[in-house]
Amino acid sequence: MIELAENRYGKSRVRLMQVTHGPAGNDLREWTVQVLLTGDFDSAHYAGDNSKILPTDTMKNTIYSVARNSSATSMEDYAKELADFLLSRNPQVSSASIAIEDTMWKRLTVNGKPHPTSFMRGSGEQRTTTVSRAQAGAFRIHSGLKNLVVMKTADSAFEGYIQDELTTLKETGDRLLCTALTAEWRYTSAMLGFDATRTALRETMLKTFAEHQSKSVQETLYAMGKSALECVAEVDQIDLVMPNKHCLLVDLSRFGQDNPNQVFVPTDEPSGHIEARVRRKA
């Protein structure tokens, strides 16, 4: 016998840009939103009966409509409003999951001052959140960031590793450490100042990265995760991905020159890949 197993559907890559007008200037945010619904959709799969299907085009329109009336100041709070709206109007939906990625914009600086209405694209860093809730259930909120590119030009080493006949990497007590950080943490509360909490977590991890005497990417990753959990009590675990973006020391000896850790060639691939979850003990 063949049967339908887990399934869900929704709308992805919905682009939303919102300008909030204020007396001192405007605020700008750009989000990419995904909606996924789980529920009683068996009849659509088995019999082509769409009577319980909310069109994904309607989901797209809902994203814009909820944004127009939203009082949220964070992506997490907006996602909560959107999930509640969809669940309240669709009893056939058992749970809704809202994922949002943020594109960063920075105010232009003109004559040494932030301009009230003009912006420029920030770095490639993105803020993220996924908010889900079942009917009459509690919110589950995972937030994070990705593609935060950072580098240490000192206080990074890599020594004492396994060496065999295939090893060509030389030990070093002084190397460049570059990574594109991805982090996702789980909140234990749905009632927080999410933007302030996110800023505190981000700044804590960056401070740890900068100040840590690194013996490996693994050690630095754990130190960053540990500091994040110590900083915010309402986070119970954090997943970190830190690819090692290699910067290779150039051999200048054939030109009769030394190279005391000054000239490197950055390489995007292949790269080391280090990931781990840091959590509170049960």
Phi, psi of 153 (to 5 degrees): -105, 5
> CA 265 → CA 56, 147, 178, distances in Å?
47, 20, 12
Identify the active-site residue in 80, 212, 245, 246.
Answer: 246
- Find the farthest-apart pair of alpha carbons in the chain and give their distance in angstroms, rounded: 78
CB atoms within 10 A of CB 93: 21
CB 105 within 8 A of CB 119: yes
177: closest CA among 209, 145, 144?
209
In the residue annotation, 21 being an active-site residue is answered as no
> How distant, in Å, are the alpha carbons of 95, 102, 170, 273 from that of 238?
24, 19, 32, 17
Query: Where would I find the beta strands (DSSP E) of the chain?
Result: 9-22, 25-39, 93-110, 113-134, 140-152, 177-187, 235-241, 247-249, 264-266, 275-279
Q: Which position has the token pair 């009577």?
A: 51
Q: Which two tokens stand for residue 66?
A: 């909820």
Asked if 56 is an active-site residue, the reply is: yes
Task: From the candidates 32, 56, 73, 103, give the one annotated as an active-site residue.
Answer: 56
The verdict on whether 11 is a catalytic residue reads yes
Give the residue numbers annotated as catalytic, written as ranges.
11, 56, 246
